[in-house]
Amino acid sequence: MESTVKITAAEVNKLRQATGAGMMDCKKALVEAQGDFDKAIEVLRKKGQKVAEKRADRDSSEGAAVAKISADQTQGVAIVLGCETDFVGKNENFLALANELAEIALKNNTKEEFLAADFGGMTVADKLTEQTGVIGEKLDITSFEKLEAPFIGSYVHINKIAALVGLSSKVDNAETLVKDVAMQVASMGASTLSYKDFDPAFVASETEARIAVIEKDNIELGRLGKTLKNVPQFISMAQLTPEVLAKAEEDAKAELKAEGKPEQIWDRILPGKMDRFISDNTTLDQEQCLLDQNFIKDEKINVAKYVTSYGDVEITGFKRASVG
């Protein structure tokens, strides 16, 4: 027997506000549930599960990156709410959902805890399933990064990259410092804080691989009669022992002598030559170590030097979450 329950516009709107589902989907769910609000939510949730199952193998390669900092600025979280298309990723409702989720993420320490946390009477995981049904695309938390420090700041680049940076203390103008460094993290994609964090085996294998690539390039450049690339002996400060640096200085002095430069002016020339030697032989650090990278706002200095300009403060850690 067909249901004769009358569904009002107010009931449809209430369900729409609660779930974010379209008007017709809400009306159909209420009709199926014979006007029972809770059952209608369950109907929509089941629809979401069916859509989620169908789209389980889809790639959530688009989405929105957001960051949230606690009121006392000692905790921060960066997450990516993933979806399938850039069109959905830029939608205002989708961005609002990402920000709501980030507020919940801030109260949890792991992605697992976060997905099991409450979101309006359901878990975050269930909310993602529900919204998969509403939006029609696979939604997923593709990145979850948590950071704690005496002072934390963040930077978000067009909702595609979210970065967090922790300081050892809140010095004067800490907000500027932490935002500048977070912008560096977002732009340059460092993987670690310092060359001191590298495993020696990693540095050794990376050195071998990089030298092989340059030597291969030089074969082609030589064939074309072009200037060959410099083949470095080393790629990290971790390899530049006092003995290595002492030998580099002796080599530089021998070069100056061969060029006929008066010995009394060597002291003015040597620092520049040593800086060049270190720069040529620390390419891995410059790419992957935050403190050793050239500072994006002043490439004459590295990030470590920029940080020291703020006084007695250090970067204690950083996190980066990006779409795709």
Name which of 13-17, 100-104, 157-161 the model is least confident about. 13-17
Q: Which residues pair with 81 in a beta bridge?
A: 64, 141
Distance CA 312, CA 265 (A): 36
Q: What is the residue whose two structure tokens read 């997905």?
A: 115
Give domain 62-187's CATH number out of 3.40.640.10, 3.60.20.10, 3.40.50.11540, 3.30.479.20: 3.30.479.20
Model confidence at 1, pLDDT cuts 50, 70, 90, reads very low
Name which of 5-14, 50-59, 309-318 the model is least confident about. 50-59
Q: How far is CA 145 from CA 75, 108, 186, 232, in A?
A: 11, 11, 14, 35
Residue span(s) of the chain under CATH 1.10.8.10 come to 9-54
Distance of CA 285 to the CA centre of its chain: 18
Distance CA 106, CA 319 (A): 14
Statement: 9-54 belongs to CATH 3.40.50.300 = no
Model confidence pLDDT, tens digit, residues 103-146: 999 999 999 999 999 998 889 998 898 888 777 788 999 999 99
Query: With the C-alpha atoms ordered 22, 28, 29, 34, is the resulting torsion angle positive or negative?
Result: positive
Model confidence pLDDT, tens digit, residues 72-89: 999 999 999 999 888 888
Q: How far is CA 155 from CA 75, 177, 181, in A?
A: 14, 11, 9
**Per-residue model confidence (pLDDT) at position 55:** 66
Model confidence pLDDT, tens digit, residues 170-217: 999 999 999 999 999 999 989 999 999 999 999 999 999 989 999 999
Q: How far is CA 222 from CA 211, 213, 225, 231, in A?
A: 16, 14, 5, 14
Residue span(s) of the chain under CATH 3.30.479.20 come to 62-187
Question: Where would I find the H helices in 136-280?
Answer: 174-188, 200-223, 242-258, 266-280
